[in-house]
Amino acid sequence: MTLKEKFLNAVMDGELGMLTDYGAVVTLADFKRYFKDIETDYVNSFMPAAVIEAGQYTATHTKFLFRVKRGVYRVHPDALAEQFDNNFLHPGIRESVPAYARMAL
């Protein structure tokens, strides 16, 4: 499982981030705490590297976060919906519909 998949699963399961009126918001500090087992500097660059460029509004395979402010990111709803669809298609990964995924659909 990729870090992106682990990240989106944690957000969908409510283990990482918080739900706001504008979607799921995750801080870089919370991300680092959640993925403390990653010992490389990749943990520092993952979220900034996944930010959708200014002027763009659609998620891609590698760009699926909006930067709200320094150290705070909002997950694009399409990324959550796509992750839910991927998990839903593979039995046994998730037994119930996560709250975040229901809101994104």
Read off the pLDDT of residues 46-98 as tens digits, 9 standing for 90 and up: 999 999 998 888 888 899 999 999 999 999 988 888 877 776 644 444 444 44
The pTM for the full model equals: 0.78
Structure tokens at 4: 């992106």
pLDDT band for 34, please (50, 70, 90 cuts). very high
Domains identified in the chain, total number: 1
Contact of 69 with 51, CB cutoff 8 Å: no
Which pLDDT does position 88 carry in this prediction? 60
Q: Which structural domain range is residue 62 located in?
A: 3-104
Give 54's Cβ-side CA count (13 Å radius): 0
- DSSP symbols for 20-85: ETTEEEEEHHHHHHHTTT--STHHHHHHHHTBPPTT--S--SS--EEEEETTEEEE-HHHHHHHHH
**Would you say 72 and 16 are in contact if contact means Cβ atoms under 8 Å apart?**
no
- Please, how many CA atoms are within 13 Å of residue 84, restricted to the half-sphere of its CB? 19
pLDDT band, very low/low/confident/very high, at 102 (cuts 50, 70, 90): very low
* Sheet with 65-69, edge to edge strand ranges: 18-20, 23-27, 72-75, 65-69
